[in-house]
Amino acid sequence: MDKETILKEFQDTMRHIAAAVYAITTVHDGERFGIVATAFSSLSFDPPSILICVNQDTSIHQPLMQAERFCVNVLGAGNRDVADCFMKTKGDERFGVGEWTEEFGMPVLASAQSTLICRTADRHRFGTHTVFIGEIINANHRDNAKPLTYYDRRYIDISQAPDQVSS
């Protein structure tokens, strides 16, 4: 299979995997940074750890390379406005929507479904991205939320997922 076909099939595959949406945040030199991300995975229960994959071209990448901590805010369906604000704005303006508090020096979204504050345990560059491994140092889960879900380049109500994919 040629490289272009592999890439297209790969992108189509990823587009049709429903994914929870996260606001990854950190602080570097007193400045807050954040991006919307779907590339998150639980990694290990001992130690409790997760990983995220961040494009090296994003504004949060360099701060994450230097910061000792980051926060994974698991967005609920009610946090759509936060995701939209992150995509429409830059820098600290991204924190203009939603109630942002601070825990362990990290920006935490009070209304998020869950928040995981992590100590950066490892970083691994691969291709266009860097994998950041985070050891969880503080976790909060609120059980009153439906996850914000991204599928086929849009946010969907997961209880109404379509039977067929669009082409």
Closest by Cα among 63, 14, 16 to 167 = 16
Residue 89 within binding range of ligand FMN, rule CB under 6 A: no
Count, residues near ligand FMN per rule CB under 6 A: 15
Shorter beta-carbon distance to ligand FMN: residue 37 or 109: 37
Strand partners, 124: 131
Span interacting with ligand FMN, options 2-10, 29-37, 63-71, 131-139, rule CB under 6 A:
29-37
**Is residue 52 a contact partner of residue 40, using CB atoms and an 8 Å limit?**
yes
Q: What b/e string do you get for 123-135 counting C-beta neighbours within 10 Å, with b at 16 or more?
A: eeeeeebbbbbbb
Residue 74 within binding range of ligand FMN, rule CB under 6 A: no
Residue 38 within binding range of ligand FMN, rule CB under 6 A: yes
Span interacting with ligand FMN, options 37-45, 74-82, 112-120, 132-140, rule CB under 6 A:
37-45
Query: How many Cβ atoms sit within 10 Å of the Cβ of residue 103?
Result: 15
Residue 53 within binding range of ligand FMN, rule CB under 6 A: yes
**Is residue 132 a contact partner of residue 26, using CB atoms and an 8 Å limit?**
no
Among 23, 35, 117, 136, binds ligand FMN (CB under 6 A): 35
- Length of the chain as a residue count: 167
**Is residue 49 a contact partner of residue 133, using CB atoms and an 8 Å limit?**
yes
Residue 58 within binding range of ligand FMN, rule CB under 6 A: yes
Residue 54 within binding range of ligand FMN, rule CB under 6 A: yes
Shorter beta-carbon distance to ligand FMN: residue 2 or 57: 57
